[in-house]
Amino acid sequence: MTSRDAPAPVDAGYVVFETTAGPCGLAWSPDGLTQVQLPEATPAATEARLATRSGAPRCDAPPTWIAGISDRMRRYFEGEEADFTDVALDLRGLSAFDARVYSALRAFGWGEATSYGALANAIGEPGAARAIGAAMGANPWPLIVPCHRVLAASGRIGGFSAHGGRDTKRHMLQLERIDADGAAPLLPGLFD
């Protein structure tokens, strides 16, 4: 029995919340998390991108499990070790290849990195490094599926499709004390 004043459970929606990196967002369905949005150039851009990609309504009182994920994301961007392997993902619409890639990548924890080629080998697809790169660029759950931990074979940082590109990826790697590209300094203003 619930109180008349208690909000009704929300099956699908999205929420935007503040982190030290800027506003992030989460979208969900009854099957799990559907989208993670890292900060865009402005808070409005963050919300607009999440709303468009998720197609879900905004929810100001997210379910407890979503609030728990947002709390862990806040702590992550403050430099605290965070684990997201227990987060249920809504895998509908993924190719079998992408689902295998994302599943294998979730095994890499805080402070661990791999390369595009090594990840291809790990899923039994040697020579599929470019396809791994495409999967990373299409990852709907950055941070939860830690695409920032995938580096070029040379140890170079590689690409990153979130706002801020390589500088955002570098910052996330630095939070986890992963050295890539000699840990070049961040651009002024990014994650200040």
Contact 174, 111 (CB under 8 A): no
Q: How many angstroms separate the CA atoms of 125 and 110, rounded?
A: 25
Q: Is 190 helix (H, G, I), strand (E, B) or coil?
A: coil
Maximal C-alpha separation, the chain = 59
Q: What are phi and psi of 32, to 5 degrees?
A: 140, -170
In terms of Cα–Cα distance, which of 90, 44, 43, 47 is closest to 65? 90
Whose structure tokens read 């490094």?
129
141 near 53, Cβ under 8 Å? no
Residue 59 annotated to the active site: no
How far is residue 189's CA from residue 180's CA, in Å, rounded to a whole number? 20
d(CA 79, CA 164): 18
Q: Exactly one of 105, 119, 147, 180 is catalytic; which is it?
A: 147
Report which of 79, 77, 94 is spatially closest to residue 35, judged by C-alpha positions. Answer: 94
Residues marked active site are found at 147
